[in-house]
Structures are given as structure tokens and as C-alpha cells.
Amino acid sequence: MRWWMAALVVGAQLVVGTMVGPDAAAAAEVTTLREAAAARGLQVGSAVSASALETDPAYRDRVAAEFNTVTTENEFKWSVLEPVRGRYDFSRADRIVDFAAAHGQAVRGQTLVWHSSLPEWLTTGTFSQAELRDILRNHVQTVVSRYRGRVAVWDVVNEPLAEDGTPRDGFWLSRLGLGYLADAFHWARAVDPAAQLYLNEYSTETNAAKARGLYELVRDLRARGVPVDGVGFQTHKLLTSRLSALGDVLRRFADLGLDVAITELDVRVPVPADATELAQQAEVYAWAAQACLAVPRCRSITTWGFTDARSWIPAQYPGWGAATLLDESLGAKPAYRRLLAVLRDWQRPGTGPVAWWRLDDWGGTTASDASGSGHSAVVSGTTLGWYERQPTTFALRGDGAGTGAVTAGPVVDTARSYAVSAWVSLTSKTARRVVASQDGAARSAFTLSYEPSTDRWVFAVPLADSVQAGVRTVSSTSVPAVNRWTHLTAVWNAGWGRMQLYVDGVLEMTAPPSGQPPATGWTGRGPFRIGRSSAGEAFAGGISDVRVFARVVDAAEAAALADAAVGRWTFDGHTGDESWFSRDGFPRPEQVGFTADRAGRPARALLLTGTEVIDVRGGMTLWTDRSYTVTAWVRLTDANRDGRPDGAGDQVVASQDGRERGTFQLQYESDNGRWAYKVPVTDSGPTGWPTVESLAPAVAGRWTHLAAVWNAGWGRFQLYVDGVLQGTSAATTSPPATGGLHVGVSMTGGRLTGALDDVQVHQRALQPHEITTLATP
Ligand code: 9MR
């Protein structure tokens, strides 16, 4: 430290020393990333360069100050270590390892086995399979043993998967077969048993095929006793990323008994970046950090470089840059301030669920607890991951006999206020079908179930933990539907001794009726059960998204929990999906702009200039042969202010793929200048397009709310503009979708020029009053 820096620090401490109260607390707050992370037992780091550490004092000081872990950006890559066969040069790696040791930092070594950055002698040499395996073993052993005790974490294998989640057909697989993966981990463990051994991969931060492939790979390796300790998620992202599935993905891997880490975080921005874009970028950093903080086994957050002066992005993605935390002169960008604030201040929302089983885990028999409380449940009689919750995601399937999931211990104190909510799809009414319960000693302390004698949903609380005790119940007024996803919320209000039951977000019954004495609850000290009671009454059908709250849930929250939206893109500076399903949208091309929303808030709506569109990958979003609703706020561009749109031809707001054409198109129709909701008679071959049009021509340049409703039971489709029904058209069918949803285009064209906001899709026909609410500016 230079003398004047020391003087400043001492001065600052003196100032702090004289302050009292909250100001003192604020001033004493942590000011570096490493302090903030260390206070949580977390590591925060960056990829660093040996030459920058050597030549750039400001860089060096910043690395020392901000991080408690560093990753070698290139210094452990084989082409750097052993450019000539048999002649290792460890000098650059040593520089980083020594620097880290001097500054109390852990080292992540990247990487031992990779298909890329291999020396030429290796890639062009002719070796037998046995020779090549020996070369690889020798390399792993040489490097790991030299740094035993000094490199805490190895990215043993880097990027072993292809984009579809199958093993990458790279250098090692093609020459050694899949066995090279397990070998590398065993060799590394044998040489340094204390080092943490990771598998590192990119583009596995979403709910996509590659993440599932990775999950299957590491589960299989672990099952075979391969010493994989952790999985690294590189997290190279765009400023339009929402990362809405990252927390779930991390949690799933953690529940395999693995550590997880964010290993190469950066967020690229089109350059030059403006203030709005830098603010959006900061949010992406914050979301990444929050996802990690929400998962106790997430051990570290590492960025891929920390200054825009040294980042791989500009060279790799021309036109993009500004991807890191600090600007080119090491000044803090909004991203740095947001990351620091999240590391320092973020807390799990205290009012959130105390347990939350999404039950959409990818196979296996562990239901992860998304609340972060660690109440994972063991599934028996079935496996997760093969039963659909609308549309096309997974749930627990109860067979009505041997199925269920159970926690290790109690989840909620049933003597105090609590609430339990779940999505269910009942398949059989022949017996009591328990959705959720918590064990007492002699009986369940409560059950939420289907009751065959009354043909109702029932929330039941025995008056005491004895089989003789009476039971207080509250029943639905509606008759439970079969094979229809229904949302249930049961609330026990201890203060009032009152029970409530909501069905699809609507309060159906409260007990006791006025005048009756309130019941007192008692504490069930046994485990929580999903799809089962302690007496073995098993649910028949699907269960999904079970949440337990250690408090009362009110009517507004019960309605929100029952929101059946299967996709919601708010376009608040990102293209992520804010619905439960986390189907983030991908801009095509990558660069997409944002504009002010209808309330004038900057960067809160999507801006399309006739070249960009949003694709929702990962299969179907909507079953278009069942009832559905698509809504959007749209403003067609009108540069010359004549009320007519600038773009030529039809302009599609949203459409979902069929075989040869979209199975619906919500659009501006250029022929007659009106809004139109079109459903083809068939999605291939010659077809007609039954259409509902707006009563008046579309007015460009102003925000308009559109809602398209297909009511399958009634065989009608309807278009609403600004909450007003424009017309109803009869159709006998709506073709089933076969592919993904698009925003701003259909699979056959019709790009939109304008702004879009709050696109929602629901797998049901919304009621007129619901559409009116959505259309309220
Ligand atoms: O940032 C690294 C760049 O300097 C190298 O030229 C390149 C090839 O070795 O690797 C870059 O780092 C990559 C990392 O090793 C693995 N994940 C992707 C990173 C960015 O390409």
C-alpha cells in the first residue's frame, strides 16, 4: 500500500470511529466484493492474466482487493503449459498461484482436459489410443501433483457436451471414447485428494437439453463412483438474458450431492454501451448472484475478467464488449455496484415459502426444495420427470396406491398459522386422494385431499393427535374436475382458529362458520408428505408446485399462486419468462433494443425495427388445440405520424409453429389495416384462415392491448382490442402446435416494426373481466 493510501484508510477509520448510530453502521459496511462474499462464506473471483498481474500495478491492486478466488484464464491450458512436447513451462501459472497465495486467495485451475487450446504436437501427432491415454494421464498427474495444496479447485474437464446435451464429438471423445471423462477425475483425485474436482460447461444455465444432458452425465458419473465434486456453470450471457431458470438448475445439481459454482460470468453488450444498457447489464449480474446465493451449495461466483480493458468478448464477438464489472480505467460500472450490493445485502425473502417443491426435477427420486430451506423430499413408487403439467413440463405422478414423497422431518409448525398450496390433476375419484399432509404421532396433523364421500376437495385438521379425536374440515363448494389442472390453497389461521380453502385462486369456504368455537391446532412433529397421508392414502394423478408457508396466505396471494399463465414476457430490459415455467425468449439476432413502456419508463418494452424477433425455444409453450389466451401490448411504429404503420405487409405480434404454418397468428393485417386473430383450418397443405378482425382500423403510434382467446369447449375464437370484444368466430378445431412460440414474427414471416410489452400466454380461455384488467393501462 502506498503511504497516501494508508493515510486515507487510517483517516477513514478515524471518521468511522467518531460516528454513532446507523451512519456508523453504514460507513463500516463492506466496500469490496471479497469482504461481502467472505461474510457469507462465499467466494467471489475473476479470471486473471499472468501478464497483466506482472505489468499492470492497478490491475494487480484491484485483483488483490476485490477477490478471494482467482481463475487462471489461460495459464493452465495445455498449449500454454507444454507448447513443445516434454518441455513444461509453469512460469505463467506460477505467477498467478504465487500471487493468490500472497493475497489469501484460492485458485481455480482451468483446465486439465479440454478439446480446445491443445498444443500442435498433440493435435497433429500420430498416437495410438493407448499412447494418447498415457499422454493424458501423464499431463493430469504432472500438473495436479505440481500444484498439490496450492490449487484448491480444478476444472478437470471443460465443455464435454454438444449443444443438444450429448457428448461433444471433440478431440478426446473421438480418440479415447467416453471413458476419458471418468479417467481424468480418477487420475486427478489420486494425485491430490484434497482438491475439489469440477466439470465445467457453458449454456447449461437454462432449462434446455444441454443442461439435462449435463445432469444425466454427472449423475451417471457419481453413480459409478467417479470423484466429481462440483459442476461449474460458465454463464457467458447477453444483456437481454433473464436467467430465470438458473436458480432451479443450480439447485437440481446441488441435490445430486454436488457443489455448484458460477465460473465465467460475463454479460456482453453492443458497443458503445449506453447508460440504459449498463443498467440492464447490472441486473443480469444481480440475477446470477441471487441464483447462487439462493442455493447453499453454490460455492463461488467468478467473472470472466473484471475490467473491460481485458476481456475476451471484443475479439470473439465484434460489435460487442463492455461485458465486465469495471470499465477500461477500472472505474466501477453499475454492474459492480449491483453485484456488491447483492453480495452484501441480499436476503432470501422472509415471507416466501418455507418449502417449495416444483416436482419438475429431471428424473430421479429427489424432489428439490426451491425455497432454499433444504426440505428435499424422497419420492417413492415413481420417479419425477415424466408426467405433464400443462403444458409439457413435469410433475409427480401419483398412482393412487404406492406413490408419494416424504421429507426427513416436519416442515411447518401446524399449531401456528400456515398455508399449503399445490397444482393438482386428479385422475381417479374412487378413494381418498391426499395431496399433502404432515405427520403427527398417531395421525396426520392435517390433510389436503379429494374426498369421495362428498365428491369435494377437503382440508381437514384433527382436533388432537389421536385416532379417536374429531376432525374439523372445510370443503370446496365446487365439484373437483378430473384430468384438469386445478390449484388448491389451504390456510390455517391460528389466531382465529379459522380454516380456508381456495380453488383456482377463489375462496370457496371458510370454517368455522360464525358462532362456532374456533379450533386449536397441534404440532405434528413428523415428516411432510406430498401425495400421501401417514395412513397411506395416495393421490391419483399429477401434483406440481407444492408450497408451504409458515403464515397465512390472503386472497390476493392465493389468486396470484393460482395464476395459470404458461408464459409471460414483460420485456423489462430482458427477454426472460416471468412465469413459473421459466421459458426465456431468445432474440434473433442476438442484439435487440428496448424502449419506454406505456407509462414512459425507459427500457421496459421491446423495440423491434423489422429485423429482430424473439423465439421461445425448448418446444411447445401452448397446446393450441386446447383453450388458450394470448395477450400483448403493442405499438406499431408510425414515424410520419399519420396513424398508419411504417412496416410493409402483415406484422405478427405472436404465433406458434405448426407443421407448415403457425397454428395461430395475432397480427396487424396490411390488406385492410386491422388487427386480426387468425386460426388456420389445418397447419399443412391448402387451408382457409377463419379470422376475427378489429372493428376499427389499427392506429399505429399508440399502445394498444390485444387479446386472442380460443375457447375449445365452445368452439369459438375471439379478439379483444383494449379490453373490448371485437368479434366471435366459429371454428370446429384449432390445429395442435408442433413447435415453439415466436414474438414479432410467425414461422412464415410477417416481422413487426414497433414496440411490444407484457406478452402473456395462458393455457385457458381468460374471462372477459380478466382481459379488461390486463388491458387497463
Ligand atoms: O478467455 C479465454 C481466451 O483468452 C482464450 O483465447 C480462449 C481459448 O483458450 O479461452 C478463453 O476462455 C474460455 C474458457 O477457457 C472456457 N470457457 C469459455 C471461455 C471464453 O471463450
Q: DSSP assignment of 201-243, as one string?
A: ESS-SSSSHHHHHHHHHHHHHHHTT----EEEE--EEETT---
Tens-digit pLDDT profile for residues 549-561: 999 999 999 999 9
- The DSSP annotation for 395-433 comes to EEEEESSS-EEE-SS--S-TTS-EEEEEEEEE---SS-E
pLDDT surpasses 60 at 66: yes
pLDDT surpasses 70 at 565: yes
Any catalytic annotation for residue 693?
no
Question: pLDDT class for 424, splitting at 50, 70, 90?
Answer: very high
Strand partners, 190: none
Residue 713 CB neighbours (<10 A): 8
Average pLDDT of the segment spanning 90-107:
98
Using an 8 Å Cβ cutoff, are 741 and 619 in contact? no
Which parts of 255-328 are beta strand (E)? 259-270, 298-303, 320-321
Tens-digit pLDDT profile for residues 217-231: 999 999 999 999 999
Bridge pairing between strands 528-530 and 404-406: antiparallel
Using an 8 Å Cβ cutoff, are 742 and 656 in contact? yes
Identify the pLDDT of residue 28. Answer: 53
Question: pLDDT class for 26, splitting at 50, 70, 90?
Answer: very low
Residue among 71, 118, 304 to mutate when testing ligand 1 (max atoms within 8 A of CB): 304
Residue ID of nearest Cα to ligand 1 atom 20:
312
The dihedral sign for the CA sequence 59, 60, 65, 70: positive
Identify the pLDDT of residue 517. Answer: 61
Identify the pLDDT of residue 13. Answer: 36
Bridge pairing between strands 43-48 and 69-72: parallel
Average pLDDT of the segment spanning 383-410:
89
Question: pLDDT class for 414, splitting at 50, 70, 90?
Answer: very high
Tens-digit pLDDT profile for residues 689-730: 999 999 999 999 999 999 999 999 999 999 999 999 999 998
Using an 8 Å Cβ cutoff, are 247 and 220 in contact? no
Residue 269 CB neighbours (<10 A): 24
**How far is 157 from 112, CA to CA, in rounded Å?**
6
Identify the pLDDT of residue 5. Answer: 39
Supply the mean pLDDT for the chain: 93
As a 3-state breakdown, the chain gives helix, strand, coil percent values, each rounded to 5, of: 25, 30, 45
Pocket of ligand 1 (CB under 6 A): 73-74, 77, 110, 116-117, 158, 202, 234, 264, 312
Distance 73 CA to ligand 1 centre (A): 7
**How far is 104 from 64, CA to CA, in rounded Å?**
9
- Residue 622, all three cell numbers: 401452448
Catalytic residue among 73, 264, 451, 557: 264
Counting residues of the chain whose pLDDT is more than 70, the rounded percentage is: 95
Which CATH class name applies to 355-561? mainly beta
Residue type for position 598: R
> pTM value?
0.93
Residue 341 CB neighbours (<10 A): 14
Domain(s) of CATH 3.20.20.80: residues in the chain: 17-345
Using an 8 Å Cβ cutoff, are 566 and 391 in contact? yes
Using an 8 Å Cβ cutoff, are 215 and 245 in contact? no
Whose CA is closest to 294, among 338, 262, 333? 262
Q: Is the peptide bond before 263 cis (omega within 30 degrees of 0)?
A: no
**How far is 397 from 388, CA to CA, in rounded Å?**
9
Distance 78 CA to ligand 1 centre (A): 12
Under DSSP, is residue 743 helix (H, G, I), strand (E, B) or coil?
Answer: strand
Identify the pLDDT of residue 30. Answer: 85
Identify the pLDDT of residue 648. Answer: 81
Catalytic residue among 159, 283, 451, 537: 159
Whose CA is closest to 608, among 621, 594, 620, 622? 594
pLDDT surpasses 80 at 8: no
Average pLDDT of the segment spanning 728-737:
90
Average pLDDT of the segment spanning 464-487:
94
Question: pLDDT class for 22, splitting at 50, 70, 90?
Answer: very low
**How far is 87 from 595, CA to CA, in rounded Å?**
56
Residue 327 CB neighbours (<10 A): 17
Topology of domain 17-345, per CATH?
TIM Barrel (3.20.20)
pLDDT surpasses 50 at 6: no
Distance 74 CA to ligand 1 centre (A): 7
Any catalytic annotation for residue 159?
yes
Domain(s) of CATH 2.60.120.200: residues in the chain: 355-561, 565-774
Residue among 48, 71, 73 to mutate when testing ligand 1 (max atoms within 8 A of CB): 73
- Residue 121, all three cell numbers: 504436437
Topology of domain 565-774, per CATH?
Jelly Rolls (2.60.120)
**How far is 445 from 360, CA to CA, in rounded Å?**
27
Distance 97 CA to ligand 1 centre (A): 19
What's the farthest any 2 CA atoms get from each other in the chain? 90
Question: pLDDT class for 393, splitting at 50, 70, 90?
Answer: confident
Higher-confidence residue of 183 and 29: namely 183
Average pLDDT of the segment spanning 593-606:
96
Q: Is the peptide bond before 680 cis (omega within 30 degrees of 0)?
A: no
